[in-house]
């Protein structure tokens, strides 16, 4: 691989383009917290949003972010002036000046379709709008970046006019001209050919802003960098409108680890996965477990042969070491797993176990038997660890449930009443409690906690984060088995538990019980570890 260190800057637009993703709505506090993380990651530019009188969050953002001590440069975003006015008299351009940001990014039209049909002006005036707006902002900002919106579609339909818009931005004094695939439909060969044509004629540094509607945004961004782009725009996790934007979590490591670009420090690169997870949580969106580099599945090994190979030679099934991007290797327990996978899991609980140990084989047999019944442990690490520690003789049931009863009543007013009664025993202590809930599972959960918190106060911190039900064989109708997966948290860590039964209440009960047992087991293991360290 040829090593080189060209100048390429990363421009993050998560706070604007990412915030336009379906289901995402970032508050002011969210934006400021994300800004801190992006700065720690080492991105060169952070675009804060589009400040205008109708967007108070973005106006407040630029005011608040001034007091933050950042290495990243904050960019204020807007558009060229409107038709029929001057840049100074435009309604929105002066709003950019009020942000106090060191640089401004504005977009303008490159496609004749948009000029004539969307903003409804002449081709000549559009060129004036671009040049005048860039020149106006250049008087007040350290840098002005021009985003050529819909450039590639515009070039395909009218190459000469699309190039004239770039020349107008160049004449206006733009510090960087960014070619935008706004519709996200460009394939790599055509994209690279067009980028090369522009580079032959435009002397201003070029950047790219790419959407992912054809699934090629990340690849096109990497090609642009190798072809001499000075700036790559994108978002964390590829968040954005429709199918999303170019994903910086893929682009940064691709360029740095595989093409020799020095974009961020090694330490900053190792923050990539934590930043990805943090922004997913703040944006309150479902994580994409299969996202390259930073996804939970990116370095997970399920097949027995794969897991055994990785255990022997890490790079036999991994294209980069997971720790370089802050991720971790995960050996998934499943019906395809071999004893090598089981051994990796058990090594943290009881170091020194041999692959051919009867305990390893017993656990493998137990897991495969349970999965044949419909259990799944990929997302149920808590249930797996309980089973493993029981096989190893490291776990003892902390309490026993003597029985439960659930009552469902449809009342005259149309409401449904749910009540659960439960009996729990711990040594010679019995608890017999009842609780109501929004449904049978919620009522059981409430009754179980009500009984156990008296015996184990720490269980009060356990919260149910997610609850999923999967019908295993729909052909059996209402008699089909269901698998219930529960994700729980105590504010410090998260774990999954599973239950399987033809009775959805029983399956839920199994997962609920495992969730609380795991919390107690984790506490006991932590205390034992602390005691061992004290003896040393």
R_g of the chain computed on alpha carbons:
29
Overall average pLDDT of the 181-192 stretch:
98
Residue 178 has pLDDT above 70, yes or no: yes
- Give φ, ψ of 328 to 5 degrees: -140, 155
**Two structure tokens written together for 505:** 């209440």
Residue 462 has pLDDT above 80, yes or no: yes
Residue 118 has pLDDT above 90, yes or no: yes
- pLDDT for res 141: 98
Which comes out higher in pLDDT, residue 219 or 353?
A: 219
- pLDDT for res 269: 97
Share of the chain above pLDDT 90, in %: 60
Domains and CATH numbers, the chain: 9-283 (3.20.20.70), 300-381 (no CATH), 399-455 (3.30.160)
Residue 352: pLDDT band (50, 70, 90) is confident
- pLDDT for res 355: 73
Burial of 375 (0-12, 13-18, 19+ CB in 10 A): buried
Residue 307: pLDDT band (50, 70, 90) is low
Residue 343 has pLDDT above 70, yes or no: no
- pLDDT for res 184: 98
Q: Residues 217, 181: contact at Cβ < 8 Å?
A: yes
437 bridge partner residues: 418
- pLDDT for res 3: 47
What's the mean per-residue pLDDT of the chain? 89
Q: How distant, in Å, are the alpha carbons of 40, 155, 246, 249 from that of 234?
A: 17, 22, 5, 9
Q: How distant, in Å, are the alpha carbons of 59, 209, 360, 404, 460 from that of 182?
A: 25, 8, 54, 58, 49
Q: In the 3-class helix/strand/coil scheme, how is 87-151 assigned residue by residue?
A: CCCCCCHHHHHCCCCCEEEEEEECCHHHHHHHCCCCHHHHHHHHHHHHHHHHCCCCEEEEEEECH
Spell 68-83 as b/e; 16+ CB within 10 A means b: eeeebbbbbbbbbbbe
Residue 304: pLDDT band (50, 70, 90) is low
Overall average pLDDT of the 167-191 stretch:
98
Which of 53-67, 74-88, 464-478 is modeled with the greatest confidence?
74-88
The candidate with the shortest Cα–Cα distance to 15, out of 341, 235, 285, 282, is: 235
Residue 453 has pLDDT above 70, yes or no: yes
- pLDDT for res 20: 95
Share of the chain above pLDDT 70, in %: 91
Residue 265: pLDDT band (50, 70, 90) is very high
Cα distance from N-terminal residue to C-terminal residue, the chain: 48
- pLDDT for res 308: 65
Residue 530: pLDDT band (50, 70, 90) is confident
The candidate with the shortest Cα–Cα distance to 472, out of 376, 343, 350, 336, is: 376
Which comes out higher in pLDDT, residue 307 or 330?
A: 330
């Amino acid at each position: 691989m040829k090593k080189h260190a060209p100048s390429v800057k990363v421009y993050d637009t998560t706070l604007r383009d990412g915030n336009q993703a379906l289901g995402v709505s970032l508050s002011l506090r969210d934006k400021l917290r994300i800004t801190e993380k992006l700065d720690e990651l080492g991105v060169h530019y952070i675009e804060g949003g589009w400040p205008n009188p109708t967007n108070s969050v973005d106006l407040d953002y630029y005011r608040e972010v001034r007091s933050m001590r950042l290495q990243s440069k904050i960019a204020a975003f807007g558009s060229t002036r409107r038709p029929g006015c001057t840049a100074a008299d435009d309604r929105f351009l002066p709003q950019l000046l009020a942000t106090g940001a060191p640089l401004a990014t504005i977009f303008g039209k490159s496609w004749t379709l948009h000029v004539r049909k969307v903003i409804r002006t002449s081709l000549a005036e559009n060129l004036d709008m671009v040049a005048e707006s860039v020149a106006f902002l250049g008087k007040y900002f350290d840098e002005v970046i021009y985003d050529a919106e819909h450039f590639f579609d515009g070039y395909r339909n009218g190459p000469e006019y699309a190039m004239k818009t770039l020349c107008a931005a160049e004449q206006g004094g733009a510090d960087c001209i960014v070619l935008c695939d706004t519709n996200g439909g460009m394939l790599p060969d055509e994209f690279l050919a067009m980028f090369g044509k522009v580079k032959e004629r435009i002397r201003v540094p070029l950047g790219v802003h790419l959407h992912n509607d054809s699934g090629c945004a990340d690849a096109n961004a990497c090609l642009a960098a190798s072809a001499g782009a000075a700036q790559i725009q994108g978002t964390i996790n590829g968040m954005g409108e429709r199918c999303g934007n170019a994903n910086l979590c893929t682009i940064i490591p691709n360029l740095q680890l595989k093409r020799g670009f020095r974009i961020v420090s090694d330490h900053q690169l190792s923050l990539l996965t934590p930043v990805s997870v943090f922004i997913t949580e703040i944006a309150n969106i479902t994580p994409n477990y299969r996202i390259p580099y930073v996804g939970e599945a990116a370095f997970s090994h399920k097949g027995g042969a794969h897991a055994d190979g990785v255990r022997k030679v890490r790079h036999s099934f991994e294209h980069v070491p997971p720790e370089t991007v802050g991720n971790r290797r995960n050996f998934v327990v499943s019906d395809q797993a071999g004893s090598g996978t089981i051994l990796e899991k058990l090594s943290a609980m009881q170091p020194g176990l041999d692959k051919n140990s009867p305990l390893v084989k017993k656990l493998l047999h137990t897991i495969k038997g349970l999965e044949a019944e419909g259990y799944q442990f990929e997302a149920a690490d808590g249930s797996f660890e309980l089973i493993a520690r029981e096989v190893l003789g490291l776990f003892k049931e902390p309490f026993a449930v003597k029985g439960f009863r659930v009552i469902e009543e449809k009342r005259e007013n149309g409401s449904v009443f749910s009540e659960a009664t439960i009996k729990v025993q711990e040594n010679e202590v019995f608890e017999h409690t009842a609780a109501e809930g929004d449904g049978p599972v919620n009522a059981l959960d409430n009754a179980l906690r009500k009984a156990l918190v008296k015996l184990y106060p720490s269980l009060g911190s356990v919260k149910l984060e997610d609850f999923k039900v999967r019908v295993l064989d729909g052909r059996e109708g209402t008699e089909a088995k269901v698998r219930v997966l529960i994700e729980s948290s105590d504010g410090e860590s998260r774990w999954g538990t599973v239950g399987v039964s033809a009775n959805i209440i029983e399956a839920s009960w199994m997962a609920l019980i495992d969730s609380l047992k795991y919390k107690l087991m984790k506490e006991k293991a932590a205390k034992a570890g602390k005691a061992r360290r004290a003896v040393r």
